[in-house]
Structure 1
Amino acid sequence: MINALVFGANGQLGRSLALCGATFPQVRLILMDRSKCDLSDLSIIASAIRDNQPHVVINAAAYTAVDLAENDRENAYQVNCDAVDMMARAADDLHIPLIHFSTDYVFDGGANHPYREDDPVAPLGVYGASKLAGENAVRVAAKRHLIFRTAWVYSPFGKNFVKTMLGLMAQRDALTVVNDQRGCPTSAIDLANATLRLLPLIVDPAFSGFGTYHLVAGNQMTWFDFAKRIHDAAVEQFGANWTGRNCRIDPVSSDAFPTIARRPAYSIMSTQKFTDTFGYGLPDISESLPACLNNLEAGG
Structure 2
Amino acid sequence: MRKRVMLVGAETTLGQELEALAAMQGVTLLARSCPAAGWDAAELNSWLDQDRPDVVVNLAHFHQQFQCDVPAVADLQHLQAFHERLMEAATAHGCWLLMLSSARVFDGEKTTPYAEKDEVAPLDALGRLQHLLESELRRANDRHLILRLSWVLDNSADGHLQRLRHQLCAGDSLALAKEWRGNPTPVADVARVIFAMLRQVDCAAAVQGTYHYGSVEASSWISLAKSLAQELLASGELEQDPVIIPAPFFEQSMAGHQPQNAALTHKRLMHVFGIKPRPWRAQLVHLLAS
Which deviates further from its counterpart, 132-141 or 6-15? 6-15
Aligned residue for 1:110, secondary structure, equals coil
Partner of 2:213: 215
Runs of 5+ consecutive residues of structure 2 not aligned to the other structure: none
Runs of 5+ consecutive residues of structure 1 not aligned to the other structure: 296-300
Alpha carbons of structure 1 residues 196 and 68: separation in structure 2 relative to 1, 3 Å: closer
Structure 1 position 292, deviation (Å): 0.6
The whole-number CA distance in structure 2 between the counterparts of 1:17 and 1:257 is 33
Contact (CA 8 Å) 1:42, 1:83: kept in 2 or not? yes
Whether 2:279 is the aligned partner of 1:284: answer yes
Pairing 1:222-233 to 2, within 5 Å after superposition: 222-233=220-231
Contact (CA 8 Å) 2:249, 2:260: kept in 1 or not? no
Whether 2:266 is the aligned partner of 1:268: answer no
Partner of 1:128: 127
Aligned residue for 1:78, secondary structure, equals helix
Aligned residue for 2:30, secondary structure, equals strand
Alpha carbons of structure 1 residues 68 and 200: separation in structure 2 relative to 1, 3 Å: closer
Aligned residue for 1:102, secondary structure, equals strand
Contact (CA 8 Å) 2:102, 2:149: kept in 1 or not? yes
Aligned residue for 2:120, secondary structure, equals coil
Superposition TM-score, scaled by structure 1 size: 0.87
Partner of 1:76: 76
The whole-number CA distance in structure 2 between the counterparts of 1:36 and 1:46 is 19
Alpha carbons of structure 1 residues 29 and 226: separation in structure 2 relative to 1, 3 Å: same
Structure 1 position 37, deviation (Å): 8.3
The whole-number CA distance in structure 2 between the counterparts of 1:148 and 1:234 is 31
Alpha carbons of structure 1 residues 169 and 112: separation in structure 2 relative to 1, 3 Å: closer
Partner of 1:118: 117
Q: Residue 29 of structure 1 aligns to which amino acid in structure 2?
A: L
Q: Structure 1 vs Structure 2: percent identity of aligned residues?
A: 24
Which deviates further from its counterpart, 242-251 or 148-157? 242-251
Contact (CA 8 Å) 1:96, 1:203: kept in 2 or not? no
Partner of 2:70: 67
Which deviates further from its counterpart, 186-195 or 110-119? 110-119
Superposition TM-score, scaled by structure 2 size: 0.89
Aligned residue for 1:273, secondary structure, equals helix
Whether 2:167 is the aligned partner of 1:168: answer yes
Partner of 2:10: 9
Aligned residue for 2:168, secondary structure, equals helix
The whole-number CA distance in structure 2 between the counterparts of 1:181 and 1:86 is 35
RMSD of equivalent CA atoms: 2.2
The whole-number CA distance in structure 2 between the counterparts of 1:29 and 1:36 is 21
Q: Residue 46 of structure 1 aligns to which amino acid in structure 2?
A: N
Which deviates further from its counterpart, 118-127 or 259-268? 259-268
Partner of 1:91: 90
Partner of 2:138: 139
Alpha carbons of structure 1 residues 8 and 37: separation in structure 2 relative to 1, 3 Å: farther
Aligned residue for 2:162, secondary structure, equals helix
Aligned residue for 1:149, secondary structure, equals strand
Q: Residue 279 of structure 1 aligns to which amino acid in structure 2?
A: G
Deviations 1:168-203 (CA, angstroms, capped at 9, x unpaired): 222223222111211111111101012112323203
